[in-house]
Amino acid sequence: MSAEKKALIRFLIIYIVSTLFIASIGEYFYYKIAKTKIIENEISKVKTDIFHKLQYRRFWDNNLTIFRNQIRIKGELPYIQNEYEIKNKKIFYKLTEYKRWGKLEIIDSMPFDFKKVINLRKDLFFFNIFLLIFITFVAFLLSKVFLAPMKNQIKNLEEFIRDTTHEINTPISIIKSNIEMLELKGVSTKEYKRIKSATIRINQIFENLKHLYLNHTKSKANLNIKELINHRLNFFESEIEKKHLTIQKKLEDVYVEIAKEDILRIIDNLLINAIKYSPKNDEIIIKLNKNNLEIKNRGNIKNPKNITQKYVREKDGGFGLGLYIVDKVCKENNLKFTITAKDNFVSAKVYF
């Protein structure tokens, strides 16, 4: 997933969740007020009924219950502690009066119309659905507006990298050919080794950028992976010698149907990573069989799950593209790539 998409998703999540949270607070208070109003309307009906019965002296109405000093005088309704209570689908209301003979409490009840509360909840539910759709739509439009400058910058940057990569192809080729000529002449000075080491590094970066940004056609062939590994080990020989590393190999003849450029990207990036992050005077273990290729070196990775993402680096140096390209090429060729850190060793495996 690209950085642009991640930023868009994060913005959408934060905006939608925060807006819904604020809206839910308002809805909660609206629901409480609306429900209280419904109850008050029902209470007013019971009050009216009580006053009507008292006015026409219908004391012996079966639904009217009278308590004096909390002692039942007539009726069958239960005593309630509060002014009103809702239970058994009824609303009970208590009218309290103080007479010279004591406290008089008159309780009446009516069926409570729960449909109004249910309809209120339904209205809020459909409102929430509409609100979610509306907020998502607005968030999407806002994200497009806010992310447009970043998108343009990324596009300009990628175009710059693509153009630059294209331009440095010729000078790198000239440097490499001149190094090969110096090797034929037997030149082996410190300065020459440093130039060769720097050229290998520049070439590795160039090949990674070329793979990502330059259009190229690839044809698959049945390639001997063992031969390619030995060839690339010779290519990185100066880097291996510079750190005094030992290569422990256990290679079988394995043939894989793959584009040569793709398998070289995999091998080169795994080798250069192992060389770069191995301690001096240590060893790199390379195993190849019909099932997988494993390149193992001493070291540690704090977060192996993120290490294959674009521009993610464990340490300074490089662009953080090597393992991203390995993972990308493996996926393009239906190969499985894993990288694990255990017992102070980092193991990178490509399963054929």
Q: Which residues of 39-71 are buried (b: 16+ CB within 10 A; e: fewer)?
A: beebbebbeebbeebbeeeeeebeebbbbeeee
141 has pLDDT over 70: yes
pLDDT in tens, 300-327: 877 767 777 766 666 655 556 788 889 9
pLDDT score for 203: 79
Cα–Cα distance between 167 and 273 in angstroms, integer?
A: 26
| Of residues 16 and 248, more confidently modeled | 248
User: Angle at CA 231, nearest 5°, toward 228 and 235?
Assistant: 130
Percent of the chain with pLDDT over 70: 88
Cα–Cα distance between 311 and 3 in angstroms, integer?
A: 10
Residue 350 burial (CB count, 10 A): 24
Cα–Cα distance between 129 and 7 in angstroms, integer?
A: 25
List 350's β-bridge partners, or say none.
293, 337
67 has pLDDT over 70: yes
Instruction: Answer for the pair 151, 4: CB distance below 8 angstroms, yes or no.
Output: yes
pLDDT in tens, 150-180: 677 767 767 777 777 667 767 777 787 887 7
pLDDT in tens, 197-230: 788 778 777 777 777 766 666 788 999 999 999 9
pLDDT score for 57: 62
Q: Which residues of 131-170 are buried (b: 16+ CB within 10 A; e: fewer)?
A: beeebeeebeeebeeebeeeeeeeeeeeeeebeebeeeee
Query: For tokens 């990207």, what's the residue?
Result: 265
Dihedral over Cα of 323, 328, 333, 334: its sign: positive
pLDDT score for 320: 65
pLDDT range class, residue 62, cuts 50, 70, 90: low
pLDDT score for 312: 65
The structure tokens listed for 246 are 């030992």
pLDDT in tens, 12-54: 788 888 888 988 899 999 999 998 899 888 888 888 888 877 7
335 has pLDDT over 80: yes
Query: For tokens 């309809």, what's the residue?
Result: 119
Percent of the chain with pLDDT over 90: 27
pLDDT score for 113: 81
Residue 332 burial (CB count, 10 A): 12
The structure tokens listed for 196 are 């060769």
Question: What are the structural domains, with CATH classification, of the chain?
Answer: 3-112 (no CATH), 220-351 (3.30.565.10)
pTM of the model as a whole: 0.54
60 has pLDDT over 60: no
Q: Which residues of 281-290 are buried (b: 16+ CB within 10 A; e: fewer)?
A: eeebbbbbee
Cα-to-chain-centroid distance, residue 287 = 34
